[in-house]
């Protein structure tokens, strides 16, 4: 039960941060803000998949997808913070 509550909080927080990133991108048109927006949306998608416990039905395939999403999120965060 606690895991579900924490997952919902993480989803809401990531969607809130995605909204803030969208506002920042709309005002500044900076590419790092767009990368952050995509990263937070992917993180919310990943946490939704984890929260729905789809891993119990097809554990191997969903585990591979969520692990791949984690790597993509981390790469997008790295790219958005990279100094030019």
CA distance 68 to 36: 17
pLDDT tens readout for residues 47-68:
888 887 654 655 566 777 778 8
Please tell me the distance from the alpha carbon of residue 54 to that of residue 47, in angstroms, as a whole number: 11
| pLDDT tens figures, 10-37 | 999 999 999 999 999 999 999 999 999 9
The DSSP 8-state label assigned to residue 50 in this structure reads H
pTM: 0.81
With contact defined as beta carbons under 8 Å apart, do 74 and 40 qualify? no
Q: What φ, ψ does residue 30 adopt, rounded to 5°?
A: -85, 135
């Amino acid at each position: 039960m606690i895991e579900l509550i924490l997952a919902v909080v993480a989803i809401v927080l990531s969607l809130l941060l995605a909204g803030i990133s969208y506002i920042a991108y709309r005002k500044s048109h900076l590419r790092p803000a767009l990368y952050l927006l995509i990263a937070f949306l992917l993180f919310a998608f990943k946490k939704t998949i984890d929260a729905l416990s789809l891993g119990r039905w097809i554990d191997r395939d969903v585990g591979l997808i969520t692990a791949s999403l984690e790597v993509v999120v981390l790469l997008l965060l790295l790219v958005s913070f990279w100094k030019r």
